[in-house]
Structure 1
Amino acid sequence: RVITRSVTRKGKEKQTDGGEFLNHMKNYKRSQISFGDVLGNGRSGVVFTAKLYKEVGALKMVDLYKREYLLQEILNEIKMYLGPLKEIQGICIPRLLKFGILHEAFAFTLTSLAEETFATMGDNITRKQKQLAIKGLQELHSKGVMHGDIRLENIVVKRKNDGSTSCVWWIDFGWS
């Protein structure tokens, strides 16, 4: 059971808004996750490739006890994946493969992998990929979700093995 607490400026202790949600999240041991390469760095920290059981994906973690605002963001992101964005996973957003608590110290998400971001692609973004990004953002809005952090780093491309059109996904829903 995990309960997060923070101290307000007046010195009073309070439980985080996501405390009840956290209490029901599965706790995984460090030995259950195999860490791979660093995919990138963001406001919430480093994102790794990782394997949990047979699922390989992008692992995003935040400390349960250091920065409450980052914890709230990842909890919000999980709630977005489980709620309004559930139907468009794998289409406009990555699939949420796993989420939970790691070693009673970190909240995490494990999502399906993409190869690169619009930011790293530079001038190599195709017209079709741009159209898919716009369509994806419109789909988010149709689900009642405003992204909250529209940047090229938050648009990723997953190429399909059969050579057909790439998937273009929006990521990072902490501010949604």
Structure 2
Amino acid sequence: MALVLGAALLTALLAQVSISVPGSPVPITSQSLGVIVAAAALGPLRGMASQTLYLLLGAVGLPFFSEGASGFDRILGATGGYLVGFVPAAFLVGLAARRGLDRRPWSALPLFVAGQLVVFAVGVPWLILAARIDVAKAMSVGFIPFVPGGIIKAAIAGVLLPLAWRLVGPRQA
């Protein structure tokens, strides 16, 4: 439980690193770095549980979402799909990490980019519905500006996690 709570708190902390995107209701944040790290470290079920806990704590009023926001309305709003996308992303990254794909940078980087893409696969369609915008607009305000940051976050995790596993030795999970 402590690990799951810690991972939820890490995601909440990283959510506070937020940059507004002109014309977009969705800010660039560091949350997905927390999702990737939690999933790789905890595995699919505990990683998914940590992100579900993160959502629940933010929904009930703790200032866990970007810029200290909270509430169920955030999950239903334009940013909600990205938040909800953390749950399947954590599961899939955790599943692949359990198979050792997080152990070497050349396999970790594509895995962590794929985790970012899962978040977008949920977030962009949700943005279309919540903000009532078309696909082209959603891509221009909800995907394209986030690609460089997503790659950077995946690269950070792709370098740091294999180094961390090398330091702590073989996992027992």
TM-score (norm: length of structure 2): 0.26
The structure richer in strand per residue is 1
Structure 1 or 2, whichever has the larger Rg, is: 1
TM-score (norm: length of structure 1): 0.26
Structure showing greater relative contact order (alpha-carbon pairs closer than 8 Å, 6 or more residues apart): 2
